[in-house]
Amino acid sequence: MKSGFAAIIGRANVGKSSILNKILGQKVAIVSPKAQTTRDRIVGILTESDSQIVFVDTPGFHAPTNKLGDYMMRSLTEAVRGVDVVVIVLDAERGITARDNELISKYIGGKTPVIIAVNKTDLTTYEALYPALTPLNALPAEDVIPLSARTGFNLDKLTATIRKLLPEGDMLYPADEVTDKSLRYLAAETIREKILLFVQDEIPHGVQVVLEEFDETDRITNISALIICEKNSHKSIIIGKGGDMLKKIGVSARKELETLLGKQVMLRTFVKVIEDWRNKPARLSELGFTPEKHE
Question: Rule CB under 6 A: is residue 38 a binding residue for ligand GDP?
Answer: yes
Residues 164 and 20: their CA atoms lie apart, in Å, by 18
Question: Rule CB under 6 A: is residue 16 a binding residue for ligand GDP?
Answer: yes
Report the nearest approach of Mg ion to the CB of residue 1 (Å). Answer: 29
Neighbours of 94 (CB within 10 A): 14
Instruction: Choose the binding region for ligand GDP from 25-33, 44-52, 69-77, 266-274 (rule: CB under 6 A).
Output: 25-33
Q: Which residue from 7, 9, 14, 165 is in contact with ligand GDP, where contact means CB under 6 A?
A: 14
Element containing residue 108 per DSSP (H, E): none
The amino acid sitting at 159 is T
69 binds, among ligand GDP, Mg ion, none (CB under 5 to 8 A by kind): none
E strands present in the chain: 2-9, 42-48, 51-57, 85-91, 114-119, 143-146, 208-216, 220-229, 264-273
For Mg ion, the closer of residues 60 and 250 by Cβ is 60
51 binds, among ligand GDP, Mg ion, none (CB under 5 to 8 A by kind): none
Residues 49 and 175: their CA atoms lie apart, in Å, by 10
Question: Rule CB under 6 A: is residue 150 a binding residue for ligand GDP?
Answer: yes
Report how far apart, in Å, the C-alpha atoms of 201 and of each of 33, 34, 70, 195, 250 are: 11, 9, 21, 11, 19
Question: Rule CB under 6 A: is residue 122 a binding residue for ligand GDP?
Answer: yes
Q: Count interface residues toward ligand GDP (CB under 6 A).
A: 21
**Edge-to-edge, what's the strand order for the sheet holding 42-48?**
42-48, 51-57, 2-9, 85-91, 114-119, 143-146
Question: Rule CB under 6 A: is residue 125 a binding residue for ligand GDP?
Answer: no
Binding-residue pattern over the window 10 to 49 for Mg ion, x denoting contact by CB under 5 A: ------xx-------------------xx-----------
For Mg ion, the closer of residues 38 and 124 by Cβ is 38
Residues 85 and 76: their CA atoms lie apart, in Å, by 14
Task: By CB under 6 A, name the binding residues for ligand GDP.
Answer: 10, 12-18, 31-33, 37-38, 60, 119-120, 122-123, 148-150
Task: By CB under 5 A, name the binding residues for Mg ion.
Answer: 16-17, 37-38
